[in-house]
Each structure stands twice: as structure tokens, then as C-alpha cells.
């Protein structure tokens, strides 16, 4: 299947937050009014959205970096403006992986699904927020939170509209070759198909993509046979066609065969049980119509649409294709699930650590670095506020424990400070 993989590495950058301001009410007879500094605007996020109008990742080979708008700074008591989110359209079936961690953030498997890949920076808070009973005229204002840059690998794996599943030898490959230009190997023995084959099926003016899978056997969900490696692709198809050999040479009951495969699908993934599907009784050319009708009757118990076809003579194949098209249209019309998953670093506890290097102590960790980034280091109140935050986080104690003394250099992110005993 590897020939169907399309890949691109793209950099997505959110907008940074605008700076908050430190300002005070100005009134005629009041020399210095209360603080009224407003907040900076928040930066725009980058959101990927699966769109069925987008077919390939080609666009990302031409343009490989994207940035959302920054939030603007606040001015006095006027709030900064939020930066607009950047919405980037990707094909349905795009797998999104954060590099270099190789963290899979999501799989945009349905039209309209969303995934935030770079979170906009928070606007810095104005001095209004920093008033306390003892600090009535704070000059502290935060700077906006920096942008987030995410290096992302987009991968598009085969995504067929319709997947053919069934026991080996059921006639899946024969069926796909009878309704598309695909010419997979067909054999009177099991496991003829070892990798999926794709075919484009035309129905009226429309087309859809059908995938012929290797046969599934008992234990497939646990890795037995060839089919198991491809079950993850089955999960990505919008409709399943369960092909059953209606008149097998060994006279196995087709209902038993059907149940065996359904059981494996269910064991593999709960989600698979809810993928719409139809039952196709194949090889009806081998028996009189009365036998076929009796079998159709028995298959009614499963409560699914049953089609009787002969992949060899094409009997019954056209009605099946129209029915599949109708189901696909119905699926398209359904409301779309919208899933926004947080980035892994938002879920993390955001730990920090401190250690000593030559000539300095280094404190590192995403949160602690951001706190420093957002501090206006030109303002002594802000620096005192920062110091207290570090104290509360236990950073100061830890540094002392490591042997830091007054005046020692402490590095956090790009900044260096002199250590001050709390």
C-alpha cells in the first residue's frame, strides 16, 4: 500500500499574544487614579480541518510554513485585538504527527474534523489584574505569550470509500475487477491477495474508490493471517462490503463464515462495528435462484442490506454499486464530528528542572520559560512578581538547594538573572 502514501513536513506557527499595558486612570483632580491597563489580544491558533475538496498533500510541498495572526498589544485601557485563527485544509485521512517526538496528534478521518496544531499565545495581562490589597498601584503588566511553533508531518494513507472484507477466496478481488479498472490477481486458493488493491468505481456521473483487502481469517484481530495488517485501513473506509462465498466448495455454512469475520472485525476495533456495511452473497451463478433466495432469507437476521451477485457474470453488481453510492451520499450528509484534541504539551504536567552548568544554574521547562518570556524585565515590580511566582513553584528553594548564592547567574530560556535569596 505504500505507493498510496503521500507525505509532507510542514511548520505551523500560531500568533503570539499581544502585550498587556500598565496604565492608570487619569482624572482632572486625581493625580494618579487606579490601574486600568488592559490585556493584549490573544494570538490566532493554527487549526487543521479535513476537507473532502482537498485530495492530496501537494499544496504542502509548494508551501511548507504557515503562521496565524498575532494578537495586538493593548494601549492603556484599550484591549488588544485577538489574532485570527488560521484554518488550513487537508485531505480526509490525513494523519498528523508532531516532530521530532513522533507523537501522533490525530487522524483527520472524516470531513470537517478539526485539530489544533499550534495554540495561539495568551494575551499578556494588564496591570488591572495585579492589584491587591497591598499593591494598589501596580506597574506590572505581562507581555504576550510567545507563539507556538509545531513541526508537523502530514501523511495521507489510502482512504477508500468502500472496503471489501471477507474470508479468503470469497471473491473480493473478482468483484473489484468486475466494477473497476483494477486488475488484481485472482486465484482459486486462499490468500491470493496479499496487499490491498484500489479501484475507482463509476456509478452514473459519480465515482468512488473501492479497496480490495486480503482475506480475513479466525484470529485476524490478533494478527493471524495477512489481513490483520490492513485492518487499520478497513477502519478508515466509509462503508464496508462484507463479501461471502454463498456456495463454498467445502459446504461451510455461509452464515458461519459471515459471523466469524464479523467477530474478528469487532474484536479488532469497537469502532468498526459502527461502520455502515452491506452483505454481498457472491457466486450466485453456482446455484439455482431458489437456493440463493433461501440464503438471502436466512441472512435477514443480521438486519443489514443483503445483495446477491455473481462477480464473474456481473449479475447483481450494478444494483449493489448504486446502493453503495446512496449510502456514501447519506454518510456525507450526516453532521460531522468535530474533535479538537489538545496538543500533548497541554496535557503534560509542565514540569521544570534545575541543574548546574559551568558558571550558572539553568532552569528549564516549558511553563517556567513562558512565565519569564511574559515578564517585562524592564520593570522592577514585574521582576519582583516573577520572583514570587518562581518561589511558589519551588524554583528558588531548589536553586538554593543546588548551592546558588546571591549574585549567581541563573538562566531561564534566553534570559539570565542574578540569584536573589528569597
Ligand X SMILES: Nc1nc2c(ncn2[C@@H]2O[C@H](COP(=O)(O)OP(=O)(O)OP(=O)(O)O)[C@@H](O)[C@H]2O)c(=O)[nH]1
Cα-based torsion angle of the residue sequence 232, 235, 239, 241 in order, rounded to the nearest 10 degrees:
50
Taking CA atoms, 50 is separated from 95, 98, 114, 115, in Å, by 10, 17, 7, 9
Closer to ligand X by CB, 189 or 204: give it: 189
The residue with its CB nearest to ligand X is 215
Closer to Mg ion by CB, 193 or 292: give it: 193
User: Of residues 295-314, which lie at the interface with ligand X (CB under 6 A)?
Assistant: 310-312
Among 76, 112, 146, 190, binds ligand X (CB under 6 A): 190
Q: Provide, rounded to whole angstroms, the least separation between the CB of residue 252 and Mg ion.
A: 18
Q: Which three cell numbers stand for residue 292?
A: 440463493
User: Of residues 133-172, which lie at the interface with ligand X (CB under 6 A)?
Assistant: 166, 168-172
User: Of residues 198-257, which lie at the interface with ligand X (CB under 6 A)?
Assistant: 214-215
Residue 174 binding: pick among Mg ion, ligand X, none (C-beta 5-8 Å cut-off by kind): ligand X
Q: Provide, rounded to whole angstroms, the least separation between the CB of residue 258 and Mg ion.
A: 17
The stretch among 139-147, 188-196, 326-334, 406-414 that binds ligand X (CB under 6 A) is: 188-196
Q: Provide, rounded to whole angstroms, the least separation between the CB of residue 239 and Mg ion.
A: 19
Transcribe 38-93 into DSSP letters: -PPPPPPPEEEEE-TT---SHHHHH--EEEPPPPPPPBTTBPPPPPPPEEEEE-TT
Q: Is 195 in the site for Mg ion (CB under 5 A)?
A: no
Tell me the site size for Mg ion, rule CB under 5 A: 4
397: enclosing H helix or E strand: helix 395-401
410: enclosing H helix or E strand: strand 409-412
Q: Is 14 in the site for Mg ion (CB under 5 A)?
A: no
Kindly provide the b/e burial profile for residues 106-138, where b requires at least 16 CB atoms within 10 angstroms of the residue's own CB. bbbbbbbbbbbbbbbbbbbbbbbbbeeeeeeeb
Taking CA atoms, 347 is separated from 350, 394, 420, in Å, by 8, 21, 32
Residue 285 binding: pick among Mg ion, ligand X, none (C-beta 5-8 Å cut-off by kind): ligand X
Q: Is 109 in the site for Mg ion (CB under 5 A)?
A: no
Q: Provide, rounded to whole angstroms, the least separation between the CB of residue 188 and ligand X.
A: 3
Beta strands 206-212; 197-203: pairing state: antiparallel
Q: Is 173 in the site for Mg ion (CB under 5 A)?
A: yes
Q: Which three cell numbers stand for residue 267?
A: 474484536
Q: Provide, rounded to whole angstroms, the least separation between the CB of residue 184 and ligand X.
A: 7
Q: Is 282 in the site for Mg ion (CB under 5 A)?
A: no
Residue 188 binding: pick among ligand X, Mg ion, none (C-beta 5-8 Å cut-off by kind): ligand X
Q: Is 283 in the site for ligand X (CB under 6 A)?
A: yes
Q: In the sheet where 149-156 sits, what is the strand order?
A: 65-67, 6-13, 149-156, 94-99, 103-108
Among 174, 180, 257, 375, binds ligand X (CB under 6 A): 174
Residue 282 binding: pick among Mg ion, ligand X, none (C-beta 5-8 Å cut-off by kind): ligand X
Q: Is 178 in the site for Mg ion (CB under 5 A)?
A: no
Q: Is 193 in the site for Mg ion (CB under 5 A)?
A: yes
**Contact in structure between 253 and 290 (CB atoms under 8 Å):** no
Helices (H), 221-316: 231-234, 254-268, 289-299
Q: How far apart are CA 405 and CA 396, in angstroms?
A: 11
Number of other CB atoms surrounding residue 324 within 10 Å: 25
Among 186, 255, 296, 383, binds ligand X (CB under 6 A): 186
List the one residue out of 419, 418, 413 whose CA is nearest residue 143.
413
Q: Applying CB under 6 A, which residues contact ligand X?
A: 166, 168-174, 186-188, 190-193, 214-215, 282-283, 285-286, 310-312
Q: Applying CB under 5 A, which residues contact Mg ion?
A: 172-173, 192-193
Amino acid at each position: 500500500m505504500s505507493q498510496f502514501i503521500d507525505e509532507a513536513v510542514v511548520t505551523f506557527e500560531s500568533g503570539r499574544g499581544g502585550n498587556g499595558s500598565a496604565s492608570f486612570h487619569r482624572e482632572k483632580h486625581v493625580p494618579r487614579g487606579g490601574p486600568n491597563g488592559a490585556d493584549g489580544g490573544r494570538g490566532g491558533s493554527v487549526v487543521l480541518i479535513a476537507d473532502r475538496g482537498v485530495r492530496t498533500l501537494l499544496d504542502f510541498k509548494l508551501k511548507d510554513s504557515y503562521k496565524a495572526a498575532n494578537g495586538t498589544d493593548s494601549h492603556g485601557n484599550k484591549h488588544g485585538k485577538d489574532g485570527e485563527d488560521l484554518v488550513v485544509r487537508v485531505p480526509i485521512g490525513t494523519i498528523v504527527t508532531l516532530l521530532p517526538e513522533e507523537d501522533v496528534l490525530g487522524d483527520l478521518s472524516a470531513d470537517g474534523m478539526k485539530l489544533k496544531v499550534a495554540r495561539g499565545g495568551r494575551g499578556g495581562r494588564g496591570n488591572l489584574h495585579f492589584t491587591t490589597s497591598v499593591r494598589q498601584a501596580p506597574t506590572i503588566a505581562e507581555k504576550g505569550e510567545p507563539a507556538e511553533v509545531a513541526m508537523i508531518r502530514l501523511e495521507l494513507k489510502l482512504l477508500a470509500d468502500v472496503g471489501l472484507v471477507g474470508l479468503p477466496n470469497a471473491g473480493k478481488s473478482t468483484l473489484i475487477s468486475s466494477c473497476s479498472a483494477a486488475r488484481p490477481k485472482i486465484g482459486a486458493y486462499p490468500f491470493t491477495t496479499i496487499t490491498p488493491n484500489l479501484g475507482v468505481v463509476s456509478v452514473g456521473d459519480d465515482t468512488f474508490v473501492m479497496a480490495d483487502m486480503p482475506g480475513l481469517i479466525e484470529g485476524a484481530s490478533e494478527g493471524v493471517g495477512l489481513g490483520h495488517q490492513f485492518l487499520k485501513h478497513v477502519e478508515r473506509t466509509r462503508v464496508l462490503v462484507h463479501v461471502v462465498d454463498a456456495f463454498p466448495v467445502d459446504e461451510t455454512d455461509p452464515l458461519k463464515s459471515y459471523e466469524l469475520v464479523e467477530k474478528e472485525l469487532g474484536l479488532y476495533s469497537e469502532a468498526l462495528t459502527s461502520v455502515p456495511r452491506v452483505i454481498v452473497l457472491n457466486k450466485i451463478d453456482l446455484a439455482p435462484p431458489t437456493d440463493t433466495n433461501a440464503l438471502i432469507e436466512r441472512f435477514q437476521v443480521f438486519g443489514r442490506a443483503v445483495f446477491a451477485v455473481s462477480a464473474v457474470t456481473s449479475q447483481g453488481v450494478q444494483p449493489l454499486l448504486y446502493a453503495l453510492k446512496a449510502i456514501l451520499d447519506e454518510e456525507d450528509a450526516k453532521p460531522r464530528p468535530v474533535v479538537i484534541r489538545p496538543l500533548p504539551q497541554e496535557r503534560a504536567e509542565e514540569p521544570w528542572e534545575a541543574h548546574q552548568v559551568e558558571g550558572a544554574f539553568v532552569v528549564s521547562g516549558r511553563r517556567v520559560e513562558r512565565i519569564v518570556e511574559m515578564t517585562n524585565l524592564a520593570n522592577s515590580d514585574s521582576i519582583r512578581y516573577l520572583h514570587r511566582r518562581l518561589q511558589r513553584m519551588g524554583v528558588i528553594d531548589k536553586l538554593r538547594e543546588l548551592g546558588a548564592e546571591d549574585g549567581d547567574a541563573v538562566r531561564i530560556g534566553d534570559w539570565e538573572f542574578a540569584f536573589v535569596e528569597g
